[in-house]
Amino acid sequence: MHFLHSLANKVIVELTRRTKSGEPIGTQTGIPYIDEDLGGLPRQTLSYLVGDSGVGKSCLATYMLLTGAKWLHKRKRGPASAYVTDNEDREVHRKHVAQKENKLPIVVFWSLEMSESMVVTRVLAQMTKIETNITISYEELLRGKLSGDQRETAIALKRGIDVIQEIGPHIAMIFRDRTIDQFMGTLRELALRYDICLVIVDYFRKIQDITMDGGVHRQEAVSSALMDMAREFDCHVMSIFDLNREGEKASRPRLYHMKWGTAARYDADYIFFMWWDRKDKRDRDEGKRIRDVRVHLELAKARSASTGKTEVWFVPECGWFDTKLRGGT
């Protein structure tokens, strides 16, 4: 139990520190709209990244993962929480979040869909593009067949590998856990040594736990567990969430398109929608090679900010997002 005056003192001290330092309130993502307008992805909050299958949600998630890790590596420390949870007096909570200033800040990627080789290959192609502006297809890289200038490609890949080696200690990737309980156990082990700033779950529908009858009840339990996860580990949790709206895939998504999404809509602090222009969707369906795609990213729900939207350019070949040359609206 805490009285208001003691809680207020903690919050005021933290807010004063942030004001003087000018640092953002949350982990940076590399998307200007999120980083500048929202202050990044704040701790102790839950967000859903929502879109149709194949729109690039996982690519955007790993792009945010790499950008967040680079930002943490450069700063050496992650932003502290300004909030106090109901569990603060519990021993388990003290072990998890205490002495953050002495722990290495990390981001965590829980992959429930892609294999280790697929994820690592994708982030290597993304980091190579980020660092060198050389486009390398992660599908070709996965098959061991690279097109173009072999020497230029080798030099670019070497640079991507070097940066991944440098920021890699800030990224934990979890592949074997299949249930919330298993993953929570892994996070508890990590939290004893690391300061968990951001958790990305790829993706919601693949979580195998919570054995309840019916999709609605299962979805409520999983969403509640993710919300508790953000509070317990003093981190931001972002989960990828797909849509079910056949015949409307080129149009702007709506909150009601989230399959069995009522609880998720209520639990989330932020909901981001992601979709393509109609022409790009039609070209891909016709089998045309698409070099880049205009992606709409909309904040459809926010508890502590105004809703809004931006545009970025997505290069599907390497999973890269161009946010500087042709970004935001």
* Domain architecture of the chain: domains with CATH: 26-322 (3.40.50.300)
Residues 6+ apart with CB under 8 A from 259: 215, 242, 243, 244
* pLDDT, tens only, 223-249: 999 999 999 998 999 999 988 776 555
Q: How far is CA 57 from CA 142, 168, 184, in A?
A: 20, 22, 23
User: Torsion angle, CA of 131/136/138/140, rounded to 10 degrees?
Assistant: -160
Residue 268's nearest CA partner among 224, 311, 232 is 224
User: What 3-state class would DSSP assign to 281?
Assistant: helix
How far, in Å, CA of 47 to CA of 61, rounded? 12
- Give the N- to C-terminal CA distance of the chain in Å, as an integer: 46
From 14-23, 75-84, 115-124, the region with the lowest mean pLDDT: 75-84
* pTM score: 0.86
Tell me the average pLDDT of the chain. 83
Largest CA distance in the chain: 66
Q: Answer whether residue 138 shows pLDDT above 80.
A: yes
**CB-based contact 68:27 (threshold 8 Å):** yes
Percent above pLDDT 90 for the chain: 50
Q: Answer whether residue 77 shows pLDDT above 90.
A: no
DSSP state of 179: S
Residue 134's nearest CA partner among 160, 165, 166 is 160
From 117-126, 178-187, 197-206, 210-219, the region with the lowest mean pLDDT: 210-219
Residue 107's nearest CA partner among 202, 236, 203 is 236
* pLDDT, tens only, 282-302: 666 666 667 788 899 999 999
